[in-house]
Amino acid sequence: MPDTINDPIIRVRDLTVGFEDRLILENLDLDVKRGEILGFVGASGAGKSVLTRTIIGLMPKRSGTIEVFGVNMNEASEEQRRAVERRWGVLFQHGALFSSLTVRQNIQFPVREFMKVSERLLDEIAIAKLAMVGLKPEVADRFPSELSGGMIKRVALARALALDPEIVFLDEPTSGLDPISAGDFDELVMTLQRTLGLTVFMVTHDLDSLKTACNRIAVLGDRKVLLVGTMNDMLASQHPWLQAYFHGKRARAVVA
């Protein structure tokens, strides 16, 4: 395998993305290390979601390279790209569960599509994944419209984990959850990172998540990554936006 422990699992270089005459990201560089939880912050509208969507291939880029597992996504053949896609999971901000399928079918869907696995194993795995994200087996036969917001996030995470990916992208996983559920969710992500050896790319605004769950934090601003480092690096930074973000009224209680 080309990717060793020290190589970044995702390597973004000189990435430029824009809509028509407006540049969202310009010459952006970012590394995500294997096995870490990277928290990604930035002002609303700064392009956090755009970067995530560009890395996972939902948005076109103007220039730059993105390497995932050492595969350059520009040059990758269709087949290579598919293989990479099977090794990551994505949790969308609003869950994006298939509303016409039950929870069980939602979790089984990627497995069913990619693998020839017996129905029995599919059922067992669906329940095991539900247990992993802290849900009871009774939930399995409900439809997404019958779930609460927190449960939707958990089921969506279970679906993102269905194929035992090596990377998961989480887009604001704790937004819309009460502080206790959000805390549980952070715990869950950390547990999964430990047990499954996951690499987690997490877009978040939740200062608690950043403090407790994330190994490193990357800050997006002025169309590039302003700073990457630990919480202490963030607190020590003199950049006005970082000062406001990490020393603001809402931050004080958390980071103090």
Partner 1 sequence: MREHLVNGNPTLEQMPLGTGVSLRAAGEWTVHHAPDLEKIVMRAERQGAEGGIIIDVSQVARLDTFGAWLIERMRRNLTRGDVSPRIAGLSADYASLVEEVQRVKEGDFRKKEPLSIVRAVEAVGRSVVEIGGTLLGLLNMAGSILYAMGHVLIHPRSFRLTSTVNHLEQVCWRAVPIVLLITFLIGCIIAQQGIFHFRKFGADVFVVDMLGVLVLRELGVLLVAIMVAGRSGSAYTAELGSMRMREEVDALRTMGFDPTEVLILPRIVALIIAMPVLAFLGAMSALYGGCLVAWGYGGVQPDAFLARLKEAISLSHFAVGLIKAPFMAMMIGVVACVEGAAVKGSAESLGRHTTASVVKSIFFVIVMDGLFAIFFATIDM
**Residue 40 near residue 234, CB atoms below 8 Å:** no
Select from 103, 152, 132, 140 the least CA-distant residue to 198.
132
What's the min distance (Å) between Cβ of 70 and partner 1? 18
Distance between CA atoms of 93 and 206, rounded to whole angstroms? 14
Q: According to the binding rule CB under 8 A, does residue 238 interact with partner 1?
A: no
What's the min distance (Å) between Cβ of 98 and partner 1? 9
Q: According to the binding rule CB under 8 A, does residue 137 interact with partner 1?
A: yes
Say which amino acid occupies 45.
Answer: G
Nearer to partner 1, 54 or 193 (CB): 193
What's the min distance (Å) between Cβ of 238 and partner 1? 40
What's the min distance (Å) between Cβ of 119 and partner 1? 9
Nearer to partner 1, 59 or 143 (CB): 143
Q: According to the binding rule CB under 8 A, does residue 140 interact with partner 1?
A: yes
Residues belonging to the chain: 256
Q: According to the binding rule CB under 8 A, does residue 132 interact with partner 1?
A: yes
Q: Is 108 left (phi over 0), alpha (psi -120 to 50) or beta?
A: alpha
**Residue 170 near residue 203, CB atoms below 8 Å:** yes
Q: Which stretch binds partner 1 (CB under 8 A): 18-26, 42-50, 88-96, 188-196?
A: 188-196
Residues in 102-131 at the binding interface with partner 1, rule: CB under 8 A = 111, 115-118, 120-121, 123-125, 127-129, 131
Q: According to the binding rule CB under 8 A, does residue 14 interact with partner 1?
A: no
Between the alpha carbon of residue 204 and those of residues 86, 208, 218, the distances in Å are 24, 10, 11
Q: Which stretch binds partner 1 (CB under 8 A): 37-45, 71-79, 140-148, 201-209?
A: 140-148
Residues in 65-104 at the binding interface with partner 1, rule: CB under 8 A = 99-100
Site residues (CB under 8 A) for partner 1? 99-100, 111, 115-118, 120-121, 123-125, 127-129, 131-132, 137, 140-141, 143-146, 161, 163-164, 191, 194-197
